[in-house]
Amino acid sequence: MQRTIFEPEHRMFRDAFQTFLEREVIPFHAQWEKDGLVPRETWRRAGEQGFLAMSVPEAYGGAEEPDFRYNMILGEETWRVGATGVGVGFGLHSDVVVPYFLHYAAPEQKERWLPKMVNGECITAIAMTEPSAGSDLAGIRTMAVHDGDDYILNGQKTFITNGINSDLVVVVAKTNPDRGHKGISLLVVERGMAGFERGRNLEKIGLHAQDTAELFFHDVRVPVANRLGEEGQGFVYLMQQLPQERLTIAVGAVAAAEAALDGAIRYCKEREAFGQPIGQFQHVRFALAEMQTEVQIGRVFVDQCVLALNRGDLTTEVASMAKWWTTELQKRIVDQCLQLHGGYGYMLEYPIATAYLDARVQTIYGGTTEIMKEIIGRSLLR
């Protein structure tokens, strides 16, 4: 089925980003997987070519008019070529963190930070998860106490994407612990602030090129001027921005499933067993037919969600549907495609093996499948 959501300028943008990946990413990605890090120089080159923070207004160095379809293209292409370290890192920066600055930052904060986010000089992260608190944000223990013109920040965060590379970290902290959800605020911690320490680059089963770290805050003085929005409104801000984060994950999930299926189809045409290509066996044809159908369903749904986001009417419930269904689809499709590769699918030299490892976290971060279903279920019983 032909996709109809893109205009000629989107296709030109896709071509340009494909060229960027071919020149600046694909030849080096295997080494980045070993290093556990994407070089900052690559971020700068991406920024110079307009591939970061596309939703930032032209006044701050960004695009003339925000359009999430450009973000979508970046997510699709990075997952398509298996450059998931770049995909997750760039996507987290552009699709997840930057919107907090666009919607809640004061004018002087925007002037200070947004241009550097666009050109790749400033890499961002958001720190929500803690060792004892994941999806339940009310359970966070990181505290920020007023002291004159500063907050004194203490606590620990874990599983933070861009945790090593980041220059600015939006930290979710309790500024009034007695008020529950209404006592949470968002503070911007900058690289080099005294008492801000990074732990090890965590070893994961997949997404190896994407740096994921523990962060520690020991009496860090964060100026009140570094607070995003109003004090005590952090939880509200998080809920407002999570639909886009979850749609970003869904975009990658469908693209990854498509890439895995395309690879499996090629393999089934070439690999022979019992004197014929394995694609000639009815079981294999049926498996491919089922996967192609499901991937097409996911593609149509996600495309419509992107258009809804552009219109401003993507709901939390629909974004949750997209996130849980497409990430579970990705896991299932990649697993079946690996099975069709037989023993070769278990070898890391084959892209399907890496795709299998990278897929596993998709149903966890951004809200687990179980949390997504809970959100949807509650909305039906209001």
Domain boundaries, the chain: 8-122, 125-230, 235-380
pLDDT at residue 139, as a whole number: 82
Could you tell me what percentage of the chain is helix, strand and coil, using 3-state DSSP and rounding each to the nearest 5? 60, 15, 25
Assign domain 125-230 one CATH number from 2.40.110.10, 3.40.50.300, 3.40.50.980, 3.10.20.30: 2.40.110.10
One fold for 8-122 and 125-230:
no
Separation CA 104–CA 109 (nearest Å): 10
pLDDT at residue 137, as a whole number: 76
Nearest to 39 by CA among 210, 156, 198, 289: 210
Residue indicated by tokens 């419509």: 304
Decide: 171 and 216 in contact? Cβ < 8 Å: no
Q: Which of helix, strand or coil describes residue 365?
A: coil
Q: Is 77 a catalytic residue?
A: no
pLDDT at residue 151, as a whole number: 98
pLDDT tens, 347-369?
999 999 999 999 999 999 999 99
Q: CATH second-level architecture of 8-122?
A: Orthogonal Bundle (1.10)
pLDDT tens, 85-110?
788 899 999 999 999 999 999 999 99
- CB neighbour list of residue 293: distance below 8 Å, 6 or more residues apart: none
Spell out, as residue ranges, where the chain has pLDDT lower than 50: none
Separation CA 126–CA 42 (nearest Å): 21
pLDDT at residue 64, as a whole number: 67
Nearest to 3 by CA among 322, 252, 333, 304: 304
Nearest to 261 by CA among 227, 225, 296, 308: 296
Q: What dotted CATH number matches 235-380?
A: 1.20.140.10
- DSSP type of residue 59: G
> Which two structure tokens, joined as six digits, stand for 16?
């340009």
196 vs 79, 130, 233, CA distance in Å? 32, 15, 24
Nearest to 367 by CA among 330, 309, 328: 328
pTM exceeding 0.85: yes
Q: Is the dihedral of CA 225, 229, 230, 236 positive or negative?
A: negative
Q: Is the dihedral of CA 99, 102, 105, 110 positive or negative?
A: positive
Catalytic residue from among 33, 130, 214, 245: 245
- CB neighbour list of residue 192: distance below 8 Å, 6 or more residues apart: none
- DSSP type of residue 63: B
Separation CA 318–CA 290 (nearest Å): 24
57 CB neighbour count, 10 Å cutoff: 15
